[in-house]
Amino acid sequence: MLVLGLGLSIALLSGCAVNPVTGDEELMFFSPDKDVELGRKYAPLVEKELGGRISEEGIQSYVNQIGQRIAGFCQRPDLSYHFGVIEEGGANALALPGGYIYITRDLLKEFKTEAQLASVLSHEIGHVVARDTLAAMSQQIGMTAIMLAAQAGGSSDLASGTRFLHAVLGLQYSREDEKEADLAGLSYMTQAGYDPNGMVETMQILEKLQTYRPVEFFSTHPNPESRIAYLQDRIAMRYASLGGLKKGEEEYRQKVLAPLNERKRRFNEQPPEPGRSETSEPGRQN
């Protein structure tokens, strides 16, 4: 459906494709339209595995709207991007091949501004553009397994599907891939009008989470300090003179944090998290 405009990449498809983020040549046995097919096929399974999409449609559409705006500035704007918020998976975000991008409710809860959210979506778009997911998976489970997963039709092919699913969920990107996704993402979000410092803030937030739960952002090597350092360098070099960029604290509070708090109030059986003072806790005595 979306494959228009991918002629250039398709033409290179005899085994080698150019990574549009870096210009590096990478061995790619997959056509870009196969990425989309694979993503579309496994997106529902990934959603199911991670507890399904959150039911707050307002949050879904807010996240999707921001993602779509940013995707318009990446090197593959012709792809059809899908952004969704899922229930489980710790504080995390992930990208399937072909433009299916997810962020978890737990990660949304950690942010304070739209620019911070934008930075995660931008980073994941960077992985999609560079086709990092397939490249990393081909190293981890091999192209044969990916081919099998792509061909798998029904329940008889459950094994290859399951293998693919687990590989996606436990994917480790290389340090280079993460850095490229960071810097590409920084460019996309800034072009979309967001304050690039939002990505630095995101790294600082995630740095604190890293101690007790791994997140995709920290699944591999670049340590948070060095990521913050190269992000700050890049911001100083390229974006420091830009003014009027959006942080979006109030929007984020209204569109994301308020509905999440509302849900928490509604399902108030859980004791309050230590260190967080909720306003009145109906039905709870303490």
What residue ranges bind Zn ion (CB under 5 A)? Answer: 178, 181
Minimum separation from the CB atom of position 217 to Zn ion (A): 6
Q: Smallest distance, Å, CB 131 to Zn ion?
A: 13
Which CB sits closer to Zn ion, 101 or 181? 181
Residue with Cβ nearer Zn ion (179 or 247): 179
Q: Which residues are CB-neighbours of 82 under 8 A, at least 6 positions away?
A: 43, 64, 99, 100, 101
Closest CB 31 distance from Zn ion, rounded Å: 23
- CA gap 266, 203 in Å, rounded: 31
- Report d(CA 84, CA 35) in Å as an integer: 18
The crossing angle, in degrees rounded to 10, of helices 132-140 and 175-191 is 170
* Residue 12 or 230 having the CB closest to Zn ion: 230
Least distance from C-beta 187 to Zn ion, angstroms?
15
Nearer to Zn ion, 208 or 284 (CB): 208
Strand ranges of the sheet holding 100-104, from the earlier edge strand across to the other edge: 82-86, 100-104, 93-96
- Rounded to the nearest angstrom, the gap between the alpha carbon of residue 283 and the centroid of all alpha carbons in its chain is 37
Question: Residue 104: how many CB atoms within 10 A of its CB?
Answer: 23
Least distance in angstroms from the C-beta of 267 to Zn ion: 31
* Of residues 56 and 180, the one with the C-beta less far from Zn ion: 180
The pair of structure tokens assigned to 252 is: 């984020």
